Amino acid sequence: MLTTKPHVINTFGIFAFHIGKLLQRYTSSNLHVALALWAFCRVFALQQGASFSFSLQCAVFGFGWAAYQYLHVYVPVLYQQQSLRLRVLFPFLLALFIGLYGLISQPVFIWIVFGFVGVLTFCYALPFGAKMGLRFVPTVKIFVVALCWTVFAMVNLTALPNNTSVLVSIKALAWMICLILPFDLRDMQKDEKALKTLPQILGVNGVKLLGLMLISFTAFLAFKTVTVDVLLYVEWGMLLLLAIALYCASPKSSPLFTSFWVEGIPILWFVGSVFALIFG
């Protein structure tokens, strides 16, 4: 029995290594964050009892995926004037195709909304040189990303009463800021001091305190806006999970912790919401 233990441990280590590599490829493809954006928007629709057409879901997912491909893959390639390989180009073209398929049947208002987010995304990181765009304006980065996700979450909820719409928008914005904070903590030492991100301004403990205050505020807004009780309990559970993730986050956090586990919270939130509606 003693002679088999090293073999078992070694086999497990190899298995874990390959799983880690697969997850790294999956997250680097930006497919995970696109699914998270789609799930985030789906949850907000479920909470308000709003229908969400398949075509609009395709538009959100497709253009969300294309936007992250542009930011993380194309901007560095373009400003360095490197050639684009088909392996890199194909996911971007596929994402654009899905997005256009969903958008083509939408009314003019939806086109305007997507155009606004597209312009904001383009200005977030400009492909004309290193460190050009809104992401390099001090303290602005986190709010631009949160605004884009909030706009997508609200694009299907235009029929809500004005008071409810404002509260839901604020809740979506607060949710996104809290989701981004672990990423800013991870990059705290890598980001240039001139960026003045929230962790650089407030410190690790200050950001965690701010995040916990925002999570508490979001939980209150959830109580005021969620129309189905069982979905309220699911959201509170996800906010608790987010609070734990924020507490565990640090400048030493692994990329997998943030890019897979933290980024996956909206997906888990959507799955939990669907199960709660079915079995609740």
Domain of residue 254: give its range: 4-279
Domain count, the chain: 1
Residue linked to tokens 């672990």: 182
Burial (CB count within 10 angstroms: exposed 0-12, middle 13-18, buried 19+), residue 152: buried
Cα dist from 152 to 45, 115, 179, 182, whole Å: 11, 11, 16, 22
Instruction: State pTM to two decimals.
Output: 0.92
Query: Does 166 score more than 50 pLDDT?
Result: yes
- Do 73 and 34 meet the contact criterion of CB atoms below 8 Å apart? no
Q: Would you state the pLDDT for residue 3?
A: 47
pLDDT attached to residue 6:
61
pLDDT of residue 198: 93
For residue 227, what pLDDT is reported? 87
pLDDT reading at 4 higher than 80: no
